[in-house]
Amino acid sequence: MADELPLIEMNKEQVVKMIGFFDSTQDERIRKDVFCKLGQECFDLGHSKEWGMSFQNDPQKLIEEVNVKKIALYWEKLEFSEDRSILFLTGKITSRCVCAFGNTSNPPKSLCLYCCKTFQENLFKKVFGKEVEVEITESAILGGKRCNTAIHIKQSEAINT
């Protein structure tokens, strides 16, 4: 058996440039498909899937972890709307995107609009045990001081905990 050659490590700068190229040259449909897939893969292959499952069907437990125990690295607070159909996520003040691919001088907006949105939809789908739609309301990539989202729970599926 021949000796195996060592693998060359991934070049982050190369990937960042490729993502930027996709964002600036492809039409909306292709950008959405590619960046949504990136967000899905980030969720599936990272520790977030297991973390989200630890709160499965128990959003109140997640709210306590974020609001009371203050364990979230990127989130400041979680609050329900009065009718409990929307969970508002307020991020911590930041000067940059927390994603390694978004931590550049000119990050692709599709990382926020599609990748992060898809990532969070997968996360909160686990937390609520039902479909949700994430709305990015503020982000560092889009020029904001923090990354905030509104997690919309289908009206017929709103929880009453």
Catalogue all structural domains in the chain, each as residue range(s) with its CATH number.
12-157 (3.30.1380)
Question: Given a cut of 50, is residue 150 above it in pLDDT?
Answer: yes
Model's pTM, two decimal places? 0.87
> Residue 11: its pLDDT value, please?
87
What's the average model confidence in pLDDT over 23-39? Answer: 96
> Residue 112: its pLDDT value, please?
95
What's the average model confidence in pLDDT over 52-66? Answer: 90
Instruction: Please give the single-letter amino acid code of residue 31.
Output: R
Question: Given a cut of 60, is residue 50 above it in pLDDT?
Answer: yes
Question: Given a cut of 70, is residue 2 above it in pLDDT?
Answer: no
Question: Given a cut of 70, is residue 72 above it in pLDDT?
Answer: yes
What's the average model confidence in pLDDT over 98-105? Answer: 88
Residue with tokens 């905990």: 161
> Residue 156: its pLDDT value, please?
59
> Residue 35: its pLDDT value, please?
97
Is residue 71 classed exposed, middle or buried when 0-12, 13-18 and 19+ CB atoms within 10 A define those classes?
exposed
